[in-house]
Amino acid sequence: MKFGAYTACLHDRPLDETLKILGELGLTGAEINAGGFIPAPHLPVDELLGSAGAREDYLGRFAQAGITLTGLNVNGNPLNPHREAGPKHAADLHRAIDLGAALGVRRVVTMSGLPQGHPGGTAANWVVNPWDSQFLDILDYQWNDVAVPFWKDVNARAAAADVKVCIEMHPQNLVFNPPTLQRLVEQTRATHIGAEMDPSHLFWQGMDPVACVEHLGDLVFHAAAKDTRINPGNVKLYGVLDDRFTRTPAEQNPLTLGGRNTLNQWPTNPSWEFVAVGRGHGVEEFWVPFLRALHAVDPEMAVNIEHEDQAFDHIEGLRLAADNLLRAAAKAGLGGDR
């Protein structure tokens, strides 16, 4: 297996410095952002698509650092009805597939997206619990009229490029758990669409990521190493569908997610929060069996740290996550010891 990191948390540093940091942490892989919600400062997409020489030079920088480029990440909402968001994210996904093929990178990570709830709608609409038939009407429209045609086309592009598209099962998307991932694959008859197994979003929904890996089997193409800490006292009051987010003030330059959409602020006492590997679930209790389950699906699978732990700066958080991930790999008998 290849243990690395998604480099979005180091976008304030040049690529070569970023790769050097990963190597010093004992990591051997990198996942690079290619568009979607956030920019791609580590990946000159247009230049690389247009020049074989540029691609050779780019990959040479990874080789010199002893790092393998294991995936391109284009997380966004390609089904967003907002005309300044959805079409751009979809185009970024298409270009990432083309660039992955050109670079010899066979994994592109993204999200399924979430469309409007009816024709002409202008806001994405996530139906959580369709107990009323009107909610099934919304889902039927979203799946049959929007998602299935879009993802059939993506699968055709990916198959032609020999690239696997790895969907992060993320709430506020049509695909947020194993059954919805399987539904997408089945309804599109996909051969090149599967899962990016990020346990963090499964934890707070009450799922067992190891069971999810075993259930999906060969549909797991790629993995993330990000943990979630559940705060039981807050869950007792707010549940896991905690809606106490607030708008980020304009003077704080909120992150733009496409068009007029921006990233909100988390509650100060959340029901759950993303943390570094090992700070939500123990190395031996969870991360060892999780890595073993992934290895059983694909011994060559890439597992990339995603740092979003607000208690640590980027380097400290990556170091803690890398230490715990590599310790888990060693205990699982998969290498990783430094």
pLDDT digits (tens, 9 = 90+) for 92-133: 999 999 999 999 999 999 999 999 999 999 999 999 999 999
pLDDT digit string (tens) for 153-191? Answer: 999 999 999 999 999 999 999 999 999 999 999 999 999
**pLDDT-based confidence at 338, cuts 50/70/90?**
very low
Burial environment of residue 241 by CB neighbours within 10 A (0 to 12, 13 to 18, 19 or more): exposed
Does residue 275 sit within a domain?
yes
State the distance between the two ends of the chain, measured CA to CA, in whole angstroms.
15
For residue 135, is it within any domain? Answer: yes
Q: Give the per-residue pLDDT at 7.
A: 98
Q: Which of 60-64, 68-72, 253-257, 313-317 has the lowest mean pLDDT?
A: 253-257
Number of domains within the chain? 1
Query: In CATH, what number is assigned to the domain containing residue 270?
Result: 3.20.20.150
**Each residue's pLDDT tens digit, 6-50:** 999 999 999 999 999 999 999 999 999 999 999 999 999 999 999
Domain that holds residue 140: 2-331
Report percent pLDDT > 90 for the chain: 96
Number of helical (H) and strand (E) elements in the chain, helices listed first: 12, 12
The total of other beta-carbon atoms located within 10 Å of residue 323's CB is 17
Judge whether 309 lies within some domain: yes
pLDDT band for 336, please (50, 70, 90 cuts).
low
Under a CB-based contact definition with an 8 Å cutoff, are residues 110 and 93 in contact?
Answer: yes
Mean pLDDT, range 133-139, rounded to an integer: 98
Could you give the C-alpha distances from 152 to 98, 159, 192, 317, in angstroms and in order?
A: 16, 11, 10, 38
> Does residue 81 surpass a pLDDT of 70?
yes
Q: How confident is the model at residue 140 (pLDDT cuts 50, 70, 90)?
A: very high
Residue 68 has pLDDT above 50, yes or no: yes
Residue 156 tokens, joined: 């055709």
> For residue 90, which of 81, 82, 79 has the smallest C-alpha distance?
79
* Mean pLDDT over each residue of the chain, to the nearest integer: 96
Total count of residues recorded for the chain: 338
The per-residue pLDDT for 174 is 98
Which residues touch 107 (CB under 8 Å, ≥6 apart)? 70, 71, 72, 100, 163, 164, 166, 221, 222, 302
pLDDT for 335 equals 77
Answer yes or no: is 27 within a domain. yes
Q: What pLDDT shows up at residue 179? A: 98
pLDDT digits (tens, 9 = 90+) for 255-312: 889 888 999 999 999 999 999 999 999 999 999 999 999 999 999 999 999 999 999 9
Mean pLDDT, rounded, for 241-263: 91
What is the Cα–Cα distance from 74 to 286, expressed in whole angstroms? 28
196's torsion region: left (phi>0), alpha (psi -120 to 50) or beta?
A: beta
- What was the pLDDT predicted at 80? 97
Q: Alpha-carbon distance 257 to 170, whole Å?
A: 15
**Residue found under tokens 């969907």:** 167
Assess if residue 336 is contained within a domain: no
Half-sphere exposure of 332 (CA within 13 A, CB side): 25
Determine, yes or no, domain membership for 172.
yes
Is 106 a domain residue? Answer: yes
Q: Is residue 338 part of a domain?
A: no
